[in-house]
Structure 1
Amino acid sequence: MESKLVQGQQVPEYLPLPSLECIEVPKIFDWVLKVTQIVDESTIDPALCLPLPSSYRVEVAVLDVESVEKPGSIRENIVVTVGTTPVTLQRVIIRKSGTYEVTIIDTSVVPNVVHCRYTKSFVRFEKVLLCAPPGTDVNVHIVPTATRIEVLDVVDDTFVNVDIVICQSIQVTAIVKLIIEAELCQPRQEIPIPENPCVVTFPPQCPDIFPGVPYPFPT
């Protein structure tokens, strides 16, 4: 078997040249970013919040969101045309569930105070076309930095309508075995941490006046 010299090692070491290796890795069959908008209505909690203050404002915040392929659902084959080529994809049902918090602030007093706070859950389903043949897994990751919620309106001091925007990264994967050309890896050499040199310094002196004659000593 041929071998090569590994560069950068304190002691020369010889390793085999690249060879064919069999590895097991997750293969990505499809990957999309999908933004979903949900309009949801919550009933103002009568036990906690009524009666309402004479003036108030409503604040909302998403507490958690989960998105998965609907358990037990069947992926239906759908033929679509991409360019001029017919392609068979699968219609996947995604189940989204989550909880948001509604806070009513009493603005009739200064400083403003929290009048009441309650939570509301929601569940929604949506269909997505993916390359998701049998044997693949659909994994959905919620992008929290791109997920937001805002108050649309308050109806009759009874209902709070909110708009929830959810950003999802949807990947279809399966574990596959691949033959690749590869070579063994070696650790790199350690990079030392830069250190400040230890230097002793003295204040500037005045040799012209001190120590004076007979310095410098006559030769």
Structure 2
Amino acid sequence: MGHHHRRDTERVCIRTRKIYDWVTRQIDVPLRSFSGEDLEAIFPTNHCPREGTICDFLGAQHTNPQNLTIRCFLTDAYGNPIDSVVDQDALICQEITQPNGRQSVNVTLPSGETVTLQKVKALIKGHVVVQIVSPTGTVICQSTPIPFATAQTFILCAPEGTQLNCHISFFECDTSLVCTDNFAQLDVSITLCLEVQVEADVKIEVEARFCQPREELAEAVLCPTTKFPPQCPDVFPAM
């Protein structure tokens, strides 16, 4: 790229979203298990037409229930499948308000320096649906939306006036249905990656000039690089 001389610059004031802190955490949601009446209730007859228990039905339909595939996926509250990375509105991810505000915590860094951060609590809630699929790929049973929730505590740079912004960057759901002569249980295991940012609207002064469009290139591969100014430089980003 050629060198561009600065010209026609002026000092401008802009309003932008400043990131004070940013962490990612893998979360294993507590295992949800269903047996007895609870197991039968999440597979209602309008979703899984049958007589008798769900295990009786599966045994009658297929001589070897091991050939069945059991899968689960993220949905909204009505059971419609969603993409966790795109459709964040179907998940609740919000700060849990503490009675006396965010508690300050003194943290000792590896260098030995002590800094004051804040304790931030977040609530994550959503739904999954479990499907039982035949070897040919036909859905023979589908559960009602199964709610899940987890509360997480983070130690962050979150001074008064900042807001929590969190979203799911990865979601995985595993499930298993165990049917024996005297035992029936469905287990649902959820793992997700939560990205948490502490943000606030700020007004900053920058030196800038108005842009003009460039000429199109015949072919170009652009790899975007996201850079933020250092925030809470003692702890974020990590050195």
Which TM-score applies when normalising by structure 2? 0.63
Q: 2:75 aligns with which of 54, 63, 77?
A: 63
Match of 1:34, SS? strand
In structure 2, distance between residues paired with 1:105 and 1:24: 52
Aligned-partner residue type, residue 87 of structure 1: V
In structure 1, distance between residues paired with 2:210 and 2:93: 39
Task: List per-residue Cα deviations over 1:17-46 (Å, max 9, x = no partner).
Answer: 323222111111001111111122244234
Which of the pair is proportionally richer in helix? Answer: 2
Is 1:174 aligned to residue 200 of structure 2?
yes
Aligned to 2:128: 100
Report how far residue 158 of structure 1 moved.
Answer: 3.7
Is 1:32 aligned to residue 23 of structure 2?
yes
Distance 1:185 1:106, change over 3 A: closer
Aligned-partner residue type, residue 81 of structure 1: T
In structure 2, distance between residues paired with 1:78 and 1:71: 17
Task: List per-residue Cα deviations over 1:142-179 (Å, max 9, x = no partner).
Answer: 11xx2101125637654311221111111111111112
Aligned-partner residue type, residue 162 of structure 1: V
Query: Identity of counterpart residues, as a percentage?
Result: 27
In structure 2, distance between residues paired with 1:152 and 1:29: 41
Does structure 2 retain, via aligned residues, the 8 Å contact 1:44–1:159? Answer: yes
In structure 2, distance between residues paired with 1:100 and 1:121: 7
User: How much is the aligned-residue C-alpha RMSD, in angstroms?
Assistant: 2.9
For structure 2, the residue ranges without an aligned partner over 5 or more in a row are 77-90, 220-239
Report how far residue 122 of structure 1 moved.
Answer: 1.3
Mapping 1:8-47, distance limit 5 Å: 17-38=8-29, 39-42=31-34, 43-46=38-41, 47=44
Which TM-score applies when normalising by structure 1? 0.68
Is 1:117 aligned to residue 145 of structure 2?
no
In structure 2, distance between residues paired with 1:175 and 1:132: 13
Task: List per-residue Cα deviations over 1:92-112 (Å, max 9, x = no partner).
Answer: 1110111111123467xxx57
Report how far residue 71 of structure 1 moved.
Answer: 4.6
Q: Which has the larger radius of gyration?
A: 1
Is 1:82 aligned to residue 109 of structure 2?
yes
Aligned residues: 176
Aligned to 1:204: none
In structure 1, distance between residues paired with 2:139 and 2:217: 55
Which of the pair is proportionally richer in strand? Answer: 1
For structure 1, the residue ranges without an aligned partner over 5 or more in a row are 1-5, 8-14, 195-219
Task: List per-residue Cα deviations over 1:114-157 (Å, max 9, x = no partner).
Answer: 442112111221111111111001100111xx210112563765
Distance 1:112 1:147, change over 3 A: closer
In structure 1, distance between residues paired with 2:168 and 2:137: 34
Is 1:163 aligned to residue 189 of structure 2?
yes
Report how far residue 72 of structure 1 moved.
Answer: 5.7
Match of 1:45, SS? helix
Report how far residue 79 of structure 1 moved.
Answer: 0.9
In structure 2, distance between residues paired with 1:114 and 1:192: 49
Report how far residue 66 of structure 1 moved.
Answer: 2.9
Is 1:134 aligned to residue 125 of structure 2?
no
Q: Which has the higher contact order (CA 8 A, sep 6+)?
A: 2
In structure 1, distance between residues paired with 2:20 and 2:217: 43
